Amino acid sequence: MPSGVQSGPRSNPHSDSATPDAAAPRSASDSVTDDVSDNPLSPPDKSFRTQGNAGEDASKHDESHLPLSSGLYLVATPIGNLGDITFRALEILKRADVILCEDTRTSGKLLSRYGVKTKRIAYHEHNAAKMRPEIMERLGKGQGLALISDAGTPLINDPGYKLVRDCKAEGFNVTAAPGASSPIVALILSGLPSDHFFYAGFLPPKTMARQKELTRFTAIPGSLIFLESPKRLAASLADMARVLGGSREAAVTRELTKMFEEVRNGTLDELATHYEEAGAPKGEIVIIVGPANDADNEPSPEDIDARLLDLIKTHRTKDAADILARETGLKKRDLYNRALELAKTE
């Protein structure tokens, strides 16, 4: 039993009372005035209160020593500034039976800062299959488990969705304490359209594979969000300019919420040139590429020839035509015939 948690009867995770949204409706006389009472975090006996009502001594409601109701809690942690943790996240982490961490040492720094002494267990992509049965067993015994990543919102470019899927299949409660997420922070700081966007995560490290992957995103009508390592930033931007269009507006963000936070805007051509000359920056990188404009969707004959010549250097003529057809919406047969003509002149 972790420090700060008292033993006592636990709710049956398979009973109706253990599922908050299955609880019977309350009458007006049963209602309370704080707005977290109906949150899935609250146990069936309504013992959990994150704050006192107006005019009451908040200490009367400090019941952080009580255990969580059974279930899996997806808890967002800061992406840089440790002050970005939420009150609710800390309450969950303190009251959980176990915290599942991507890296127990990395998470330990945050938890130590806020006096969270709950037991930590490693759960990451390399041991996920092995650990899931143990986690399911713990949930079956009525434990409340918190899942966190090294930084940001769990499951976003981190393992965990299979665990959530299994928990739902077994009828265990799953809820979340939302918070920081670097892709969303980068998007809102970029100044680029945010009404439609697509999160693509990390691109392949090799040039050919990266360009092939980028062709999948050319027709998406919205901003694109990528993660990238500093050492591959210039090469990735160059490939984005080549495949997505050098005139597309973009932003490179780094060290979000930290002391040296930076957002650099420009076209993909401009950004690729800048980082080729300046070298790899420090910190974690998120790239935002704005939506294609009408001009990008209507390449000139010169642009088509240049792109075909570039593609046939590393692809079969048929494959080059297929790739460019998907990028531009032009007819594959026409592009194939043009590629054959260009190949003869080389």
Of the candidates 87, 154, 96, the residue with the CA atom closest to the CA atom of residue 114: 87
Average pLDDT, stretch 273-277? 97
Concatenating the DSSP letter of every residue in 114-166 gives TT----EEE--TTTHHHHHHHHHHHHHTT-EEEEE-SSBSTTSSSS-HHHHHH
Q: Which amino acid is at 160?
A: G
Contact residues for 331 (Cβ-Cβ < 8 A; gap 6+): 325
pLDDT, tens digit, 9 for 90 and up, residues 7-38: 344 444 444 433 334 333 343 334 333 333 34
pLDDT on residue 295:
57
Cross-strand bridge partners of residue 223: 197
Give the Cα separation of 9 and 269 in Å (integer). 63
Model confidence band, residue 228 (pLDDT cutoffs 50, 70, 90): very high
pTM confidence score = 0.70
Tell whether 22 and 151 lie within a shared domain: yes
For residue 296, is it within any domain? Answer: no
Q: Specify the pLDDT at position 27.
A: 38
pLDDT given for residue 12 in this prediction: 44
Q: What is the mean pLDDT of residues 108-112?
A: 95
| Residue 5: inside a domain | no
Higher model confidence: residue 67 or residue 164? Answer: 164
What the block records as the tokens of 293 is 């404009």
**Judgement on whether residues 285 and 146 belong to the same structural domain of the protein:** no
Q: Are residues 233 and 285 in the same domain?
A: yes
Say if residue 197 is in the same domain as residue 159. Answer: no
pLDDT tens, 277-288? 999 999 999 999
Q: What is d(CA 341, CA 166) in angstroms, rounded to the nearest whole number? A: 55
3-state secondary structure of 331: coil
Lowest mean pLDDT among 107-111, 280-284, 329-333: 329-333
CA distances (Å), origin 316, targets 156, 161, 309, 320: 36, 38, 11, 6
Q: Is 61 in the same domain as 175?
A: yes
Q: Are residues 30 and 176 in the same domain?
A: yes
pLDDT band at 297 (very low <50, low <70, confident <90, very high): low
Q: Which is nearest to 2 in space by CA: 93, 99, 86, 97? A: 97
* Contact call for residues 189 and 183 (beta carbons, < 8 A): no
Instruction: Check pLDDT > 50 for residue 54.
Output: no
Which range marks the domain in which residue 229 is found? 183-289
Question: What percent of the chain lies above the pLDDT cut of 90?
Answer: 63
Instruction: State whether 49 and 29 are in the same domain.
Output: yes
Residue 236 has pLDDT above 90, yes or no: yes
Nearest C-alpha neighbor of 87 from the set 109, 64, 67, 70: 64
SS3 233: helix
pLDDT digits (tens, 9 = 90+) for 143-196: 999 999 999 999 998 889 999 999 999 999 999 999 999 999 999 999 999 999
- 304 φ, ψ (degrees, to nearest 5): -65, -45
Q: Is residue 43 part of a domain?
A: yes
Sequence-distant contacts of 15-24: CB under 8 A, at least 24 apart? 17/44, 18/44, 18/69, 18/70, 18/71, 18/142, 18/173, 19/171, 19/173, 20/44, 20/69, 20/173
**Which CATH number fits the domain that encloses residue 218?**
3.30.950.10
In this prediction, residue 342 carries a pLDDT of: 87
Q: Look up residue 190 and give its two tokens.
A: 């970029």
On whether both 221 and 282 belong to a single domain, the answer is: yes
β-pairing verdict for 249-254 and 285-289 = antiparallel
Residue 253 or residue 50, greater confidence = 253
Going by pLDDT thresholds of 50, 70 and 90, the confidence category of residue 92 is very high
Average pLDDT value over all residues in the chain: 83
